[in-house]
Amino acid sequence: MSNHPFSKRVWLTAPVLAGLSLLAPQFPQPAAAQDTVKIGVILPMTGPSSSTGRQQEAAAKLFIQQNGATVAGKKIELIIKDDTGAPDVTKRLAQELVVNDKVSVLLGFGLTPLALSVAPLATQAKVPQIVTAAATAMITEQSPFIVRTSFTLPQASVPMAEWSLKNNIKKVVTLVTDYGPGLDAEKWFSDTMTKGGGTVVENLRVPLRNPDFAPFLQRVKDASPDAVFVFVPSGFGAAFMKQFVERGFDKAGIKLIATGDVTDDDLLQEIGDPALGVVNTHHYSASHNSPENKAFVEAFRKANNNMRPNFMAVGAYDGMQLVYKALEKTKGNTDGEALMAAMKGMSWTSVRGPVSIDPDTRDIVQNIYVRKVEKVGNELYNQEFATIEAVKDPFKAAKK
């Protein structure tokens, strides 16, 4: 094999490759574009979480349509990308948006791992990352450039536990989807419950890809608690609710309490009557009674083939709101640090009620509403009947 022609040519090629790679190509430096402010929107538009992407895209576009594409003398341009729900794609898209398109703000992020994947980049590039969907509490701690306009699960679960304790629900089983947000909900609900003198008999975790809730529900029933506390991601609610009712829980006297993800506005109509009477806590209902919200719902429906906006849409709508307000405050300065400084402590009247950005944690402070599913006309809505005002994320509050 000594005269094997293979090696000679290879060894000729390799040094050339190595030599060339040392000639570092000149890369353009990211610089703020002059008159246009680009906002990179990264959302799961395909795959299992695509409903999140649809709602958020529609809301962001609606916001621009309503408020004009110019703010503080700058033209706003949205660049929308589909990350298919895969974190490495999210990261690459974010990086390309920052480096090539020179976006001033990144917005979106449908799931926790997707948001987390971009966090180091946001820090490195000093680009504000506005999380409009993902709801695990610790996300905002991963980078000083992350702001959140959605909600956190502890924010929604703790009021649910408090309400339960007050309403004579003492013995509870929790049933959550087995991933970040689910575990957050389970932990904060259980802790609050136990501290308040209630008991959590069992913590059940349903695998993320689980076609049949039956065995878990049967376990709940066998434990015969006063109520079962449920979190499933937006989109899984319908299948769950059906089986819940089919199993005759109402007759066994087991109440269903949940975070608002289960009775998502987007799905509520599809779930239908089984959802009636479910008590849940969340930050937004399409039936929220305020002039801002009425106008928003009407415009959203009109622009989107009568689709009802859900809490995801509102997250993105407020994300855009925040960008506009921050730009106004900086007078069009798109420097990342200036924008961050402008966003901290910002407050406004959202379609969900009064909100503000906590200057310490950069997480949203908002009202949490206790709601009950009721029929309004022909449609089902989460009707708010109690308000807990200005709830901060309990996860970060507990650390102090």
Partner 1 sequence: MLTILFDGIAYGMLLFVLACGLSVTMGLMNFINLSHGVFSMAGGYITAFLINRWGVPFLLCLPLAFLFSAALGMVLERTLYRRLYARSHLDQVLFTIGIVFMAVAAVDYVIGSQQQTVKLPDLLKGRVDILGGSIGLYRVFIIALCGCLAVTIQMLLVKTRFGSQLRAAVDDPRVARGMGINVNTVFAITFAVGSGLAGLGGALGTDILGMDPTFPIKFMIYFLIVVTVGGTSGITGAFFASLILGIADVGGKYYVPQIGAFIIYALMVVVLIIRPQGLFSRSRGK
Partner 2 sequence: MSMTPTAHQMMLDQARWRWSESLFWLLSLGVLFAFPSKALLFSQIAIMGLFALSLDLILGYGGIVSLGHAAFFGVGAYAAGLMAKHGLGDPLLGLAVAAAVAACVGWLTSFLLLRGSDLTRLMVTLGIALMLFELANRMASITGGADGLQGMMVGPVLGLFSFDLFGKTAYLYALSVLFVLFLLARKIVHSTFGLSLRAVKGNALRAGAIGISASSRLVAIYTLSAAFAGIAGALSAQTTQLVSLDVLDFHRSADVMLVLVIGGVGWLYGGIIGAIMFTLMQDWLAGITPQYWEFWIGLVLVCLVLVGHDRIGAGVKSMVARISGKGSAA
Sole residue written with tokens 């958020």: 56
d(CA 228, CA 257): 6
**According to CB under 8 A, which residues from 35 to 64 bind partner 2?**
45-46, 50, 53-54
Q: Which of 39, 121, 131, 267 binds partner 1 (CB under 8 A)?
A: 267
- Parallel, antiparallel, or unpaired: how do β-strands 199-206 and 171-177 relate? parallel
Contact 65, 106 (CB under 8 A): no
**According to CB under 8 A, which residues from 9 to 28 bind partner 2?**
9-10, 12-14, 16-17, 20-21, 24-27
**According to CB under 8 A, which residues from 51 to 110 bind partner 1?**
51, 54
Contact 113, 125 (CB under 8 A): no
Q: Which of partner 2, partner 1, none lies near 299, with the C-beta cut-off 5 to 8 A by kind?
A: none
**According to CB under 8 A, which residues from 181 to 210 bind partner 1?**
204-205, 207, 209-210
d(CA 357, CA 95): 26
Taking CB under 8 A as the binding criterion, the range among 94-102, 144-152, 158-166, 216-224 that sits at the site for partner 1 is 216-224
Contact 176, 160 (CB under 8 A): no
Q: Of 353, 363, 354, which is closest to residue 384 (Cα–Cα)? A: 353
CB neighbour list of residue 305: distance below 8 Å, 6 or more residues apart: none
133: contact with partner 1 by CB under 8 A: no
The 112-151 site mask, x for binding partner 2 (CB under 8 A), equals xx--xx--xx--xx----------x-----x---------
Contact 254, 225 (CB under 8 A): yes
Which amino acid is residue 193, in one-letter code?
M
CA-CA-CA-CA torsion sign (102, 106, 109, 113): positive
Taking CB under 8 A as the binding criterion, the range among 20-28, 41-49, 374-382, 385-393 that sits at the site for partner 1 is 41-49
Q: How many CA atoms lie within 13 A of 27 on its CB side?
A: 7
Provide the minimum distance between the beta carbon of 340 and partner 2 in the complex, in angstroms, as a whole number. Answer: 19
Q: Between residues 109 and 236, which has the closer beta carbon with respect to partner 1?
A: 236
| Cα dihedral 262, 267, 268, 273 in deg (nearest 10) | -100
Residues that bind partner 2 (CB under 8 A): 4-10, 12-14, 16-17, 20-21, 24-27, 30, 45-46, 50, 53-54, 80-82, 85-88, 91-92, 95-96, 98-100, 112-113, 116-117, 120-121, 124-125, 136, 142, 178-180, 183, 207-208
Residues that bind partner 1 (CB under 8 A): 46-48, 50-51, 54, 204-205, 207, 209-212, 214-216, 218-219, 235-236, 238-239, 242-243, 246-248, 266-267, 270-272
